[in-house]
């Protein structure tokens, strides 16, 4: 059985008929910048069973995490010139994983275990840790952000469907803090500066909702409209810049951004995919997005 799983994850063959179609064109992107564009969708293979996660610990570095057919976490990375094969990190998880980097050659990975606890695994620059049980009772995949070295802020959906928060301050884990709301599916979180966090969720009205930490207090909930059908993803490539991605009613990828003073409308980026997307930025004006295609492969699209 193990050999079969390894074969499934080592394939990188393109299945053109099942690949998400790029139907977006480029008009909205071209209006924002004449010298930048969205790539087409690239097939990274694998057979995955939930939405992916992605982190970056340096320029032109990407680490992608998925749930495999064995319910374990699998890892694939871009080293600046080529993609690795798939590496099993073990564990048995439900829903999408979450990942973040707070420094060079550091990755923190989170998942929902079969006991509905939050579980944590990290890369310290030379090896992977075991899995650490952080407790709680969670009902969707987690989200994580980091606003400084050795700082982690994790967000989950609780049994009351509210948003809950747990953080690592550099020496110890906090308890669980309720941030209220009633949410559907996994949250998304990002930090664009010291002591700043932006969290996004799908509400029970299927709209995109936003809540943020400004360094001293949490905001209320801001409704951003849209009709979304899975948990969102978010990335930031500069201070006071946010790029949010969500699955629409057409199962395509939709994009909305904050430019520092106002929110854009929704931009269609095409594709047909399952579950939630994942997004990260490793430099100014760069975004990498990952989704699970209808053939259960991992697909990649970039703004560059």
Q: Summarize the confidence of residues 99-123 as an average pLDDT.
A: 98
Flag whether pLDDT at 190 surpasses 90: yes
**2-303 has which fold?**
Neuraminidase (2.120.10)
The pLDDT tens digits of the residues spanning 251-278 come to 999 999 999 999 999 999 999 999 999 9
3-state SS class at 91: coil
The pLDDT tens digits of the residues spanning 229-254 come to 999 999 999 999 999 999 999 999 99
Residue 29 confidence (pLDDT): 38
More confident residue, 19 or 231: 231
Residue 11 confidence (pLDDT): 30
| Cβ burial, residue 17 (10 Å; 0-12/13-18/19+) | exposed
Q: Are 22 and 271 in contact (CB under 8 A)?
A: yes
Flag whether pLDDT at 10 surpasses 70: no
The pLDDT tens digits of the residues spanning 43-65 come to 999 999 999 999 999 999 999 99
Domain boundaries, the chain: 2-303
Q: pTM for the complete prediction?
A: 0.89
Residue 7 confidence (pLDDT): 25
Q: How far apart are CA 236 and CA 282, in angstroms?
A: 9
User: What's the gap between Cα 3 and its chain centre?
Assistant: 29
Q: Which of 202, 198, 236 is nearest to 215 (CA)?
A: 198
Flag whether pLDDT at 297 surpasses 60: yes
Alpha-carbon torsion (67, 69, 74, 80), positive or negative: negative
pLDDT classification of 36: cutoffs 50, 70, 90: confident
The pLDDT tens digits of the residues spanning 66-97 come to 999 999 999 999 999 999 999 999 999 999 99
């Amino acid at each position: 059985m193990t050999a079969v799983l390894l074969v499934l994850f080592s394939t990188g063959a393109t299945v053109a008929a099942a690949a998400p179609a790029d139907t977006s064109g480029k008009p909205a992107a071209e209006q924002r910048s004449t010298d930048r564009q969205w790539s087409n969708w690239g097939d990274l293979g694998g057979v995955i069973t939930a939405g992916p996660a992605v982190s970056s610990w340096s320029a032109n570095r990407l680490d992608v995490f998925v749930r495999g057919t064995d319910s374990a976490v699998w890892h694939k990375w871009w080293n600046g010139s080529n993609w690795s094969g798939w590496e099993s990190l073990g564990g048995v998880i439900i829903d999408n994983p979450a990942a973040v980097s707070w420094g060079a050659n550091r990755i923190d990975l989170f998942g929902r275990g079969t006991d509905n606890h939050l579980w944590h695994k990290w890369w310290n620059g030379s090896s992977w840790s075991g899995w650490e049980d952080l407790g709680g009772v969670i009902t969707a995949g987690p989200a994580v952000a980091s606003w400084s070295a050795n700082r982690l802020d994790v967000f989950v959906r609780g049994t009351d469907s509210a948003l809950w928060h747990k953080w690592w301050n550099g020496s110890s884990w906090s308890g669980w803090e309720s941030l209220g709301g009633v949410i559907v599916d996994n949250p998304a979180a990002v930090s664009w500066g010291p002591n700043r966090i932006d969290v996004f969720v799908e509400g029970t009205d299927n709209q995109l909702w936003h809540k943020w930490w400004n360094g001293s207090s949490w905001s209320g909930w801001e409704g951003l409209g849209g009709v979304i059908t899975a948990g969102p993803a978010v990335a930031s490539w500069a201070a006071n810049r946010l790029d949010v991605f969500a699955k629409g009613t057409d199962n395509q990828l939709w994009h909305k951004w904050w430019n520092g003073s106002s929110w854009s409308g929704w931009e269609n980026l095409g594709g047909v995919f399952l579950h939630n997307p994942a997004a990260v930025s490793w430099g100014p004006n760069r975004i990498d997005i990952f989704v699970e295609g209808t053939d259960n492969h991992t697909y990649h699209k970039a703004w560059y």
